[in-house]
Each structure stands twice: as structure tokens, then as C-alpha cells.
Amino acid sequence: MRDLRPSLAARFADNELLSRVASAFGLALLALGATFIGGLVFALFWATAAVFFFAEFLKMIGYRPLAVGAAIGAIGLTAATIGIERSALLAGGAALLVAAPVIAARAEKRDMGLVAALGLAYAACVVLPVVVLRSLPVHGFGVTIWLYALVWATDIGAFFVGRALGGPKLWPRISPKKTWSGFVGGTFAGIVAAMLARALGASVPLSLPAALGLGLAASLSVHVGDLVESALKRRYSIKDSSQLIPGHGGFMDRLDGFALASLVVMGGLEIWG
């Protein structure tokens, strides 16, 4: 007689929380492995994530021809990443400055081209700041781990505290599920994780008060990045940017807060470091 019980894989797919935790754990291991190796491997790991991010952005806005725009963006993002990793800042910037107008020019609709070019800059924030941070002499590895701890803890804290406590919505017109309890819980978790990582050796080259202030700013920016992406998805009437990451959606869904937080950390270190 045929076994009608659902397979383990099917049950895994149906359990949103389980699939969310498992996929996040797997991606975290890949990110940590690439960070430990560093160099070009690390740069290309994040460049790949940025390319997927950009392709999802183009699909979300309805860019046509999608494959052409994504291919040009992939070339520009990869070239810019390699340029930054090799300390060739002008070459890296030039790659994006060339790719953006080409993407805009190839769009079937002119207004869509401008949005796509802005999306390329958005995707660049996924990879370029963190490559700059990892390339820092002496502190590069520690700063990158510190950033991971802060962003991941902010996301995890917001998700679980928001689910557990509920309460008033943070901005229901933009994101109907996010709550003030999740916002406060996520921010607190992010700061605690950042300070704990600092105490364990993943230090940033800042005094304790400055590190605390930067941690607060970066944790808040995770929420802001998440809300920006939620507003974009609501504008273009989609739920998830894709289904590539089980339990999370797509790379845009996973990296929206990371992109802004890494930019804030890079800027903070430039100002106070």
C-alpha cells in the first residue's frame, strides 16, 4: 500500500520556522567560511549575493529585457568588487559608472531604466562596504564578524520578540507584521551581540562608547533597511523578492538590512576610527 505520510523534505518545506532557521544557519556558515578565507574568495562570495540581489530587484520592478539587465549588472558588480578588493578604487567605481547608464539605456521603458540604475547602486551596498571592511589591516576580520553578529542578532531578536510579544504595529501601512516590540527587542539584541562579540575578540578599532554608539546606529539601520525593502515590495505588489532562500524569500529579503548596516559601519569607522 502506498505510504501517504509526507516525506521529511515535504514536512521541512511546510514548516516555515524550521526552514527559516536551517537556511539561515547554512548561509551563516558559508558567510563565516568565506570571511575566514578572506581575499578574493570573500569578495566573490558577496559579489554573487549582490548579483542575485540585483536580479531580484530588476524582476520586482518589471525591467525588460531582464536577462540583459541582470548580465550587465553582474559584470559591473563583479568588476567593481574585484577593483575594491584589489584597492583599485577608481577602477571599481568606474565599473559601476559604466554599467549603470548601459542598464538604463537598454530598458524598454525610460523611467524603468532610471530605477534600475538606482537598483544597481542599492545592490552595490550589499558587497562593496563589507569588502572594504574585511580588507582593513589588522581589524578586518574582527570588524566583519562584529557586523555579522550585530545584523544577525537584530534580525533574530526582532523576529522572535515580535512574534512572542506582538503589540502595536511599527508602520502598518508599509509592513503590517512588524511591531514596536520587535523593533525594540531586535535593537537590544543587536547591541548586546555586538558588545559580546567585541568582548570575545571581534573588536572594532573604537573606544567602548564609540563602539556602542556605532552599534546602536547600525542596529537601527537594519530596521530602516528592512522597512525600505518592505516599501518597495508594497509599491510593486509582491510578497517576497523570490523563493530562493527557504523561509526567507529571496536575497533582497535577507540582505536589505545588512546592506545599509554595513554602509553605516564603514562610514562610522571612517569618521571615528
pLDDT(20) > 60: yes
What is the rounded average pLDDT for all residues in the chain? Answer: 90
Give pLDDT, residue 15. Answer: 62
Give pLDDT, residue 251. Answer: 92
From residue 38, give the alpha-carbon distance in Å to each of 49, 86, 152, 213, 261.
16, 12, 20, 27, 20
Name the band, by pLDDT with cuts 50, 70 and 90, for residue 166: confident
Better-scored residue on pLDDT, 11 or 163: 163
Name the band, by pLDDT with cuts 50, 70 and 90, for residue 273: low
Give pLDDT, residue 239. Answer: 80
Task: Confirm if 168 and 118 have CB atoms less than 8 A apart.
Answer: no
Read off the pTM: 0.90
pLDDT(3) > 90: no
How far is C-alpha 93 from the geometric centre of its chain's CA atoms? Answer: 20
pLDDT(2) > 50: no
Span of 32-41, 85-94, 181-190 with lowest mean pLDDT:
85-94
Better-scored residue on pLDDT, 3 or 144: 144
pLDDT(245) > 80: no
Is the Cα dihedral 17, 146, 36, 96 positive or negative? positive
Average pLDDT over residues 25-33: 91
Per-residue pLDDT of 103-156, as tens digits, reads 999 999 888 999 999 999 999 999 999 999 999 998 999 999 999 999 999 999
Name the band, by pLDDT with cuts 50, 70 and 90, for residue 209: very high
